[in-house]
Amino acid sequence: MKKEGKLKKNMAAMALALALLLTTLIACSADSASDEDTEETAVTELHAAFSAFNSDATTIFLDGSNVVIETTGLPDHETVYWGEGNALYKEEPDVDRTPSIMSSNNNATTITVDATPNLTGSTVSTQLNTIGIAVSGASIFNDQEGGGPLNQAAASLDWTGAHIGPGVYHYHLEPKAFTDDDENLVGILLDGVFLYGRKCTSTGTYPTDLDSSGGHTTATQYTDGEEEYHYHIINELYSTTGSYLAFAGPYQGY
């Protein structure tokens, strides 16, 4: 009997929470472009992996069944692209620098992703521009550069596989500033799936069961023993760069 009473209380609390949520959703619907996500269950807690993100650059919060990631796009590591005089400027004489530097560009980006990726088996190609946000706060791009293959622009990539163009500073290759042949978290992609380094914490080595996107389902350092689908940087050298593509797609979680 006692248990039942508690259950009823919980249900009443949930109903109240739902009513509040609905009120919020209705209030927000005027500036919401799509209502396709409203059928999904609201998530009540941010994924533990978000604790690894650079809090100076990013603001991350739940919005119903979505996670919103706002970032200044400014990474917390050294690169030649900060420009001389900056505390994080790194001299990289071999980098064929683009005309843009960090301090002259607006790197800010906001992405909204599903808090629970939609892993139904259908895949979606990645596009030019931001395909995810790294733990450093900067953007992740795919294997394309201005509609062509990346290797034509490879000379402008800095020590951590990134460069800056007319748009934001972004990584194409394994971002060695925070993952270098290890199992560290790299970031989150637009389909809501987390991307990790070349090794997996579940085995401590290169996974051998990856799908074509570099994904598989195991526990990670942020899932408390629960199995969860995630991507890895695929352990195959890209072109003549001597490094590894961050993510070429396709997305599995849209």
Give residues in contact with Zn ion (CB under 5 A): 145, 200, 218
Q: How far is the CB of 252 from Zn ion (least distance, A)?
A: 13
Give CA–CA dist 184/160, Å, rounded: 15
Contact between 133 and 187 under an 8 Å Cβ cutoff? The reply is: yes
Q: Which is nearer to Zn ion, 118 or 235 (CB)?
A: 235
Per the rule left: phi > 0, alpha: psi between -120 and 50, beta: everything else, 29 is alpha
Q: Which is nearer to Zn ion, 77 or 232 (CB)?
A: 232
For residue 33, CA distances in Å to 28, 30, 43, 254 come to 10, 8, 20, 17
Question: First and final CA of the chain: distance in angstroms?
Answer: 44
Contact between 117 and 65 under an 8 Å Cβ cutoff? The reply is: no
Q: Which is nearer to Zn ion, 125 or 205 (CB)?
A: 205
Q: How far is the CB of 249 from Zn ion (least distance, A)?
A: 15
Q: How far is the CB of 45 from Zn ion (least distance, A)?
A: 22
Place of tokens 């596009």: 127
Give CA–CA dist 42/114, Å, rounded: 10
Task: Tell me which residue has its CB nearest to Zn ion.
Answer: 200
Q: Which is nearer to Zn ion, 51 or 205 (CB)?
A: 205
Q: Pairing relation of β-strands 132-134 and 144-145?
A: unpaired
Q: How far is the CB of 15 from Zn ion (least distance, A)?
A: 38
Q: How far is the CB of 59 from Zn ion (least distance, A)?
A: 25
Q: Which is nearer to Zn ion, 200 or 245 (CB)?
A: 200
